[in-house]
Amino acid sequence: MPNLREIKISEIDRINVHGRTGRQLQPLPLFFNGSGIEVTVTGAELWVEVETDSDNLEPWVAYEINGAFMGRQMLLPGTHELCLFRNLEPSEPKTVKFYRELQAVSEDERCQVLVSGLKLDGEFLDPPRRSRRIEFIGDSITSGEGTYGRVEDTVWVAMYMSASVNYATMTGRELDADVQLISQGGWGVYCGWDNDVRHNLPSVYEKVCGLADGPANEALGAADHYDFSFAPDAIVVNLCTNDNSAFNQPPFTTPDGVTHKQHRNPDGTFLKEDERKVEEAIIGFLRMIRRHNPGSHVVWCYGMLGYEMTLTITRAINEYKAASGDENVAFLNLPNTTPDTLGAHMHPGPKSHEKAAKVLADYLRMQMGWD
Amino acid sequence: MPNLREIKISEIDRINVHGRTGRQLQPLPLFFNGSGIEVTVTGAELWVEVETDSDNLEPWVAYEINGAFMGRQMLLPGTHELCLFRNLEPSEPKTVKFYRELQAVSEDERCQVLVSGLKLDGEFLDPPRRSRRIEFIGDSITSGEGTYGRVEDTVWVAMYMSASVNYATMTGRELDADVQLISQGGWGVYCGWDNDVRHNLPSVYEKVCGLADGPANEALGAADHYDFSFAPDAIVVNLCTNDNSAFNQPPFTTPDGVTHKQHRNPDGTFLKEDERKVEEAIIGFLRMIRRHNPGSHVVWCYGMLGYEMTLTITRAINEYKAASGDENVAFLNLPNTTPDTLGAHMHPGPKSHEKAAKVLADYLRMQMGWD
Amino acid sequence: MPNLREIKISEIDRINVHGRTGRQLQPLPLFFNGSGIEVTVTGAELWVEVETDSDNLEPWVAYEINGAFMGRQMLLPGTHELCLFRNLEPSEPKTVKFYRELQAVSEDERCQVLVSGLKLDGEFLDPPRRSRRIEFIGDSITSGEGTYGRVEDTVWVAMYMSASVNYATMTGRELDADVQLISQGGWGVYCGWDNDVRHNLPSVYEKVCGLADGPANEALGAADHYDFSFAPDAIVVNLCTNDNSAFNQPPFTTPDGVTHKQHRNPDGTFLKEDERKVEEAIIGFLRMIRRHNPGSHVVWCYGMLGYEMTLTITRAINEYKAASGDENVAFLNLPNTTPDTLGAHMHPGPKSHEKAAKVLADYLRMQMGWD
Amino acid sequence: MPNLREIKISEIDRINVHGRTGRQLQPLPLFFNGSGIEVTVTGAELWVEVETDSDNLEPWVAYEINGAFMGRQMLLPGTHELCLFRNLEPSEPKTVKFYRELQAVSEDERCQVLVSGLKLDGEFLDPPRRSRRIEFIGDSITSGEGTYGRVEDTVWVAMYMSASVNYATMTGRELDADVQLISQGGWGVYCGWDNDVRHNLPSVYEKVCGLADGPANEALGAADHYDFSFAPDAIVVNLCTNDNSAFNQPPFTTPDGVTHKQHRNPDGTFLKEDERKVEEAIIGFLRMIRRHNPGSHVVWCYGMLGYEMTLTITRAINEYKAASGDENVAFLNLPNTTPDTLGAHMHPGPKSHEKAAKVLADYLRMQMGWD
C-alpha cells in the first residue's frame, strides 16, 4: 500500500458524520446503531481505522459502497484497519458509509467503537448532502433486534441487532434523508419491559449518549448534554412496547429498595393509575422533545409488536396537544409483526421492517410534503 | 330445463342470508353491498330469480362458486333469471354465493334488488356455518368505490363499487367469518364530504337500511328499526374520511336553510369547535353501537385515505371509554393508499384493499383469539 | 333510452375487431376466446347486441372499460342486449372492449356468439391503434382453463375458461399489442391428450375456425380458409402439453377403426418412433405457420404444465431450421405451474399465467426490440 | 478466552466440508465460492482460523448461524482468527457454516483461503446430514457476480461476487441439499466472452480446481485429478452465456499465435461452423460429465443473461443423447434478467437469482421426486 496516505478523522472536512457525537472528535466515537461516517472519494482503495473495546457485548459494524450493503462483521477489542474497497476505478467517485450495527450499550461499560482515521490513495469529494433529516427514538425494534438470525434463535446477543436491516435506515433510504437513531432494547418511555423504571428513554435523551456508562464513555462525552445540532425535520418516536410488556411482568425492585410494578385489573385492562404513569411519561417526553426541537414534526409510531397501548399513547398525545397548543405532533400505527414476518428473538424480522418502512415513508412523504 | 324445480327464497331452510334484512323476506331485498344469499346444493344446475328496479344507479351483482369469484354484471330494471352454474357434477356439493355489488343507494329511490327464488335440479345441503361474525360500518371505502375501473376513471358511477374486491370481504374470507356491511360513499360520522350534516351513518344505523328511501323501500321494511340480530363478534367502524374532507369544502345549506361548514384555523389545523362536533358524533355513535351490540369488540379503523383525523378519533374514543367504562373498544390505523395502490375515482384500488385486509385480519386474529 | 341510436356492427368504421373472422360480418361471430370488438365512443351509454346459441357449452363473455375488467357473465341461448356502461360523462372518450371468454368449441355445434350491433348516444372516435400484433396458438392453457374456479374444482365446464385472466391477454396488455388466440383444450400438435390423433391444431389452423363444426358454423364461414390477414409480428405456439399426456393414456380408436397410442419404453422414456410423430407434426406445423406468416417471429413456448417434451420440441425446431434455413424461430420455456400457482381443474391459475406473461413479455420485448 | 480449545480442521470428525478438496486437508483449502466448512457445536463461543493470501483479488468470506446469514468480510493476506459467535447458550446446539464468497481465481496465483482450525469451548455434534447433492457448473452467474453492489457499479472486483446471494445456494437451501459450485466468470463451454478458447470449463472440470494456477495452488492439489467423490444426484450446467458473447467480440489471439473469433452471418445469425464449435464443446462436456457422474441427472440451464443460444444448446444435447443413448439429461430455460432484477456489473441481481432458484428448485423437485 505504498501510495496510501493516512488522515485523522477529525481532519477530514468533507465528511458526513451520522449519529450523535459529543465533545470528542478524535478518535470519533460511534455511540448508536446507525452512527457512522460517510465519505465520497476517488482512488482505488480506502481503509478505515477503528479502535474498539468491549466485554460481553462486542460491537458489529457494517459498510456500504454507493448505497449497497457490502460487508458486516464483529470487532473484538483492539485496533483494526479495515479495507472498505480495493481496486476500484481511481477516477470514479465512490461513496462509502461505515457504521455501527450494535445499539448503544448500557450493559457493558467497555463497549466502544472509535473511528480514528482513514487511509486512501485518492481525494475527498463532497459527500451527499441530504436536505431531509429524521431522528428515530426507540427500543429494541429501532435497535434492529432480530433482524439477523433465525426465528428459532432466541438468545439475546449483539449479532442479531443491526442498522443495516432496520425500518429506520430503510425509511431514510427511501426518502433520501439523513437519519439519527437513539434506541435501547428493553427500554420504554416510563419503564423497561421488566418494570425497571430506570430504563426509560427520556432519562437519556438529553445526553449525547446517556446509555453508555462508565468512565471511559464519560471521557468521550457520552454523559454530556447533547447540543441538539441535528435539527431533524421529523422525529419518529417508537416507544411503549416495553411499557406494555411491564404490565405482564413481575415486580422489579430498584437499587433504592423501591419495588415497581405496572398492574392490570382483573378483567385484563390496565390499572388506570399505572397506565397514567405511562401517559405522564409520554407527555413529559413530548415536552422535552419539543423543547429541544422546536420546528420538528413529531410522530409517535407504534404497533410493530402489538397494538395494546394505542389508546393510551393517543390519550397522552392529545392531552399534551391540548395543554401545549402544539399541533405539530401525530400518531401512526405501524403494522404488527406476524408469523410470516417474524425475525429472531421474537422480534420483527426483515419483512416486518420493510412493511413498517413503507407505511412510515408514505406517511412522511405526505405529511412533510416530500416528493 | 325439464328437471328444475323452483323454490321461493323464503321457503329455503338451509340458506345463509348475508346482510341486514327487515320484515320482508319474500322476495328478499338485498340492501347493501355484500348482502346476498349462500346455499350449498347438489345437482347439475342452479338458477337465481331476481327482480330489480333502478333509475340512474343500476345495481350490479356478483357470484362465487365454492368461494371463487365467477361472474359480475349489471342488472337493469326487470325480472331476471340468472344461471349460476350448469353441467357440474350432480352428486358433488357446490356452495354458491350471490350478492349485491352496489352499496345501499340513497340517491335513487327506485333502486332495488329482490331475490325471489332459486331453481335447481338438486337438493339443499347445510351451507357453511361460520362461528365468527364481523360488521363493517363505513363510507365509500367500505362501499368498494374505485375497486373496479382505471385510475384515470373519475366519474362516480355504480360499476366502480363492489363487495367482490373489498377489504371487508377479504377480511371475512381470511378469517372465515360472516360479514355484514353498512356503508355509504360520501358520508361521515358527523357530516358528509360536502358539509351536508344529514349524511352521517349514525342517523341510519338503527334502521334496517336507512339509506334506501322512498315508499317502495319503505314497503320492504328498509325504514324499520333493525333488530340487531346479527350479533357480531367484532364491529369495524371505518369512518371520518369524509368528516375530514368537509374541512376542505365550501359550506352546505341544508333544506332547513341552515348553512353548515367545518373550518380550519389560519395555520391549517382544525377549528376546535368544529372538530368537537366530529368528536361528539363519534362518542354518540359508539354509545349507539354499544347499546345494540353489548358484547362486540369495536375497532375504529382509519387511514386508507389519509391519517389527519387520527388524534381526533382517538380523543373521542378515549373520552367515550372514560365516560362509559367500556374497555372493549380500540383504534387501528389502516395503511394509507399510495400512487401504486390507487384505484378508480381517487379511491383505494384492489392492492390497497388487500393491504388493509392483511393488517385488519392480523389485528382481529390476535385481538379476538382467532387462530 | 330515448336518445340511443342503433348501429349494425358491420356498419361501424371505427372499430377494432379482435380474433379471426370469416366471410360473415353481420352479425359478427366471435369464434375464439379473446375474440371481440373494441370501440372508443363518446356519450353516456353504450349497449351491445348479441345473439347466442349453445347446448351444453354456454358461452361466457367479459368486457373492459378503458382497459379495466368490469364484468363477466354467462350467455344462454337467445338475443341479448347488454349495457356496457351508463351515466358516464358524455364528452369523455371511453374505450370499451367486449369479448368472448369461452374457447372455440368443438363439442357443441350450436355454440355461437354473434355480435349484431351497438346502441349508443354518442359518437365513434378512432379506437386504439396498436402497432404490435401477436398470435397465440395453444391448448387448454391458452384457453385459460382453470383461471376461474377453486383448486378443488375439477369438473370441465365453460365457466372455468377465460381470456380475461390469461397469459396471452396479459402479454398483449403488457406490450400494448393486439392479440389473436387460436386454442383448444385437450388438443396437441400431433394428437390430443387421449391419443385422439384428430385433435391437432395444425388440422384447423388454416381455416377461419376449424374447431367450430356443424352447418350453423359453416354458414358463418368457420370452415373457410383463413386469409391470414392478421399478419402478426410474433407468433407464440404453446403446444405439446397434450402430446406429452398421450404417452400416459390408454389407446384411442378413431372412427375409422384405427387405434392410436403413444408409447413409453420400459425405462419411462418416449418410444423413439412415437416421439418422432410429434417431431414431424411440429416440423410440419412450423412449415405451415411460416407459409402463411412469412415475416413473423415464431417462438414455441412450453413448460407451464411440465417440461418433459422440451428436448423433443427443440429437436424438431432445429431440424426444421436446418431444412428450411428459417432462422426466425425460437424456443422458450415458461415457468411450470406449482402448488402455489395452481388453478382449477389442475390447470395454471392466475398467478401462473402472470408469471408466464412476465417471462414471455420480457422475451418479446428483447427479441422484437419492443421498448 | 481461557476455556477455548484449538482443534485442527483435519482432526474434526464431525464436520461437513462443502466444495471440492484435493490431497491437502490441513490446512484445508477453500477453492470455490460456496466452498466451506459446517459444524454443529455446543458451547458459548466458536472461532475459525484462516490463512489467506492474494494479490489483486482478495478473498471474501461469509458465515451463517443456524442457516441465517450473519457476516461477510474481506480477508487480506495473513493469518486470521475470526470469531463466529460468542455468548450463545452453551447447551444449545449451533450449526455454523463458514464459506468462501469469491469464485476460484484464475488471475491471481497467490489467492488462497486455507482453514487451519477451529477454537471452541463446547463439543462437536453431528452436523446436518443432507440426502440430496447438487453440483453447479457455471460462469459469472454461478460465481454470483453482481449480487452485491449497485446497478451503477460496473467495475470487475472481488467484492461484487458471492455464494451468499446466489441461485445455486438458494436452490440448495430450498431443497435442503448440499451444493458444490465450479464456476468462472467470463468462461464458456467452448471459449470465453472474448474469444479466448482457453477459457472453457471442460478444461478444468477434471481437476480439483483447475482454475487456481501457480506453484502454491499446485502444492494444495488444485491441479490434481478430482476424484468425483461428491457423487451429485443432479448436476446443473449453466454455461454458454460467454460463448454467446464471443460472437459479438473482436478476435482473440492466444499465446500460440492463433487468432480465434466466433462469427455471425450478415443477417446476424451465428455462422454455422462457429456455432458448431460450441455444439461440439457441449457434446464433449456432457460426455465428460457423464463419465465421471454415471448416475446424476444433468440439466443444462440457460437464459439468465439472454436466450440466444437456446436452440444451439438443445441441438447439441439432442445430438449427445442420440449418440450416447443417455436419457438422463435435460434442458431448462431460467428467466432472463430484466431492468428490475439487474444487479451490479450488468449481471443478475438478488431478485434475478431468487427467480431462477424458484424455477430451478421447482424443476428439480419434480424431476428428482424431491418433496
Give the ipTM: 0.96
Nearest to D118 by CA among D50, D47, D52: D47
Contact D366 C306 (CB under 8 A): yes
Chain B residues within 8 A of A359 when measuring between CB atoms: 335-336
pLDDT at residue B107 tops 90: no
Neighbours of chain C (3+ CB pairs under 8 A): B, D
Q: What is the per-residue pLDDT across C228-266, written as a single tens digit (0 to 9) for each? A: 999 999 999 999 999 999 999 999 999 999 999 999 999
Nearest to B66 among C60, C88, C153 (CB): C153
Nearest to A239 by CA among A174, A196, A285: A285
Q: Which of D47, D56, D81, D155 to mutate to test the interface with A (most CBs of A within 10 A)?
A: D155
Count the neighbouring beta carbons within 10 Å of the beta carbon of residue D6. 12
Q: Say how far apart CA A87 and CA D157 lie, in whole Å.
A: 7
Nearest to D71 among A67, A73, A344 (CB): A73
Chain A residues within 8 A of D71 when measuring between CB atoms: 60, 71-74, 159
Q: What is the per-residue pLDDT across D140-149, written as a single tens digit (0 to 9) for each? A: 999 999 999 9
Instruction: Indicate contact of A with C: 3+ CB pairs under 8 A.
Output: no
Count the neighbouring beta carbons within 10 Å of the beta carbon of residue D250. 9
Contact A70 D344 (CB under 8 A): no
Q: What is the per-residue pLDDT across A124-182, written as a single tens digit (0 to 9) for each? A: 999 999 999 999 999 999 999 999 999 999 888 999 999 999 999 999 999 999 999 99
pLDDT at residue B1 tops 60: no
Q: Say how far apart CA A81 and CA A94 lie, in whole Å.
A: 19
Chain A residues within 8 A of B362 when measuring between CB atoms: 335-336, 338
Residue position matching grid coordinates 471440492: D20
Beta-carbon contacts below 8 Å between A and B = 67
pLDDT at residue D226 tops 80: yes
Q: Say how far apart CA C30 and CA B290 lie, in whole Å.
A: 56
Average pLDDT score over chain A: 97
Element (H, E) at D204: helix D202-205
Chain D residues within 8 A of C321 when measuring between CB atoms: 311
Contact C317 D331 (CB under 8 A): no
- Asked if C24 and C51 touch (Cβ cutoff 8 Å), the reply is no
Nearest to C199 by CA among C207, C190, C209, C208: C190
Q: What is the per-residue pLDDT across C293-304, written as a single tens digit (0 to 9) for each? A: 999 999 999 999
Q: What is the per-residue pLDDT across B121-134, written as a single tens digit (0 to 9) for each? A: 999 999 999 999 99
Indicate the pLDDT class of residue D150, thresholds 50, 70 and 90.
Answer: very high
Q: What is the per-residue pLDDT across C349-365, written as a single tens digit (0 to 9) for each? A: 999 999 999 999 999 99
pLDDT at residue B14 tops 70: yes
Chain D residues within 8 A of A72 when measuring between CB atoms: 70-73
Chain C residues within 8 A of D303 when measuring between CB atoms: 333
More confident residue, B203 or D107: B203
Indicate the pLDDT class of residue A365, thresholds 50, 70 and 90.
Answer: very high
For a pLDDT cut of 70, what percent of chain D falls above it? 99
Mean pLDDT value across residues C284-288 = 98
Q: What is the per-residue pLDDT across C304-330, written as a single tens digit (0 to 9) for each? A: 999 999 999 999 999 999 999 999 999
* Dihedral (Cα; B369, A310, B292, B202), 10-degree rounding: -140
Q: What is the per-residue pLDDT across B31-43, written as a single tens digit (0 to 9) for each? A: 999 999 999 999 9
Chain C residues within 8 A of B67 when measuring between CB atoms: 150
For a pLDDT cut of 70, what percent of chain C falls above it? 99
Q: Determine the residue type at A92.
A: E
Q: Which of C4, C54, C60, C72 to mutate to test the interface with B (most CBs of B within 10 A)?
A: C72
pLDDT at residue D231 tops 80: yes
Residue position matching grid coordinates 454530556: A224
- Asked if C282 and C244 touch (Cβ cutoff 8 Å), the reply is no
pLDDT at residue B49 tops 70: yes
Nearest to A303 by CA among A335, A274, A281, A259: A335
- Torsion angles phi and psi, residue D343, rounded to 5: -110, -155
Indicate the pLDDT class of residue C2, thresholds 50, 70 and 90.
Answer: low
Mean pLDDT value across residues A194-209 = 98
Contact C74 B83 (CB under 8 A): yes
Nearest to B56 among C87, C152, C153 (CB): C87
pLDDT at residue B223 tops 60: yes
Contact A344 D68 (CB under 8 A): yes
pLDDT at residue C1 tops 90: no
pLDDT at residue B2 tops 80: no
Q: What is the per-residue pLDDT across A255-278, written as a single tens digit (0 to 9) for each? A: 999 999 999 999 999 999 999 999
Neighbours of chain A (3+ CB pairs under 8 A): B, D
Mean pLDDT value across residues B163-187 = 98
- The set of residues, in sequence order, having a beta carbon less than 8 Å from that of A90 and lying 6+ positions away, is A42, A43, A44, A121, A122
Nearest to D149 among A56, A68, A158 (CB): A68
- Asked if D22 and D209 touch (Cβ cutoff 8 Å), the reply is yes
Q: What is the per-residue pLDDT across D264-304, written as a single tens digit (0 to 9) for each? A: 999 999 999 999 999 999 999 999 999 999 999 999 999 99
Contact B331 A311 (CB under 8 A): yes
Contact D311 C332 (CB under 8 A): no
Indicate the pLDDT class of residue D3, thresholds 50, 70 and 90.
Answer: confident
**Residue A107: predicted pLDDT:** 87
- Torsion angles phi and psi, residue B118, rounded to 5: -125, 155
- Torsion angles phi and psi, residue A281, rounded to 5: -65, -40
Element (H, E) at D284: helix D272-292
Contact D333 C338 (CB under 8 A): no
Q: Say how far apart CA B340 and CA C276 lie, in whole Å.
A: 50
Please, is A165 exposed, middle or buried when counting C-beta atoms within 10 Å of its C-beta (0-12, 13-18, 19+)? buried
- Asked if D175 and D370 touch (Cβ cutoff 8 Å), the reply is yes
pLDDT at residue A1 tops 60: no
Average pLDDT score over chain C: 97
**Residue D51: predicted pLDDT:** 98
Cis peptide before D232 (omega within 30 of 0): no
Q: What is the per-residue pLDDT across A83-120, written as a single tens digit (0 to 9) for each? A: 999 999 999 999 999 999 999 998 899 999 999 999 99
Interface of chain D against chain C, CB under 8 Å?
Answer: 267, 269, 303, 306-307, 310-311, 314-315, 317-318, 321, 327, 330-333, 335-336, 338, 358-359, 362-363, 366-367
Nearest to A87 among D56, D85, D86 (CB): D56
Grid coordinates representing C293 are 406468416
Mean pLDDT value across residues C138-149 = 98
Mean pLDDT value across residues B183-189 = 98
Chain B residues within 8 A of C60 when measuring between CB atoms: 71
Instruction: Indicate contact of D with B: 3+ CB pairs under 8 A.
Output: no
Chain B residues within 8 A of C93 when measuring between CB atoms: none
pLDDT at residue D1 tops 60: no
Chain C residues within 8 A of B73 when measuring between CB atoms: 71-73
Chain B residues within 8 A of A315 when measuring between CB atoms: 314-315, 318
- Torsion angles phi and psi, residue A227, rounded to 5: -85, 0
Neighbours of chain B (3+ CB pairs under 8 A): A, C
- Asked if D79 and D11 touch (Cβ cutoff 8 Å), the reply is no
Interface of chain B against chain A, CB under 8 Å?
Answer: 267, 269, 303, 306-307, 310-311, 314-315, 317-318, 321, 327, 330-333, 335-336, 338, 358-359, 362-363, 366-367
Contact A330 B310 (CB under 8 A): yes
Mean pLDDT value across residues C333-338 = 98
Q: Searching chain A, which residue's CA lies closest to the CA of residue D84?
A: A74
Number of continuous H segments (helices) and E segments (strands) in chain A:
7, 18
Q: Which of D4, D69, D70 to mutate to test the interface with A (most CBs of A within 10 A)?
A: D70
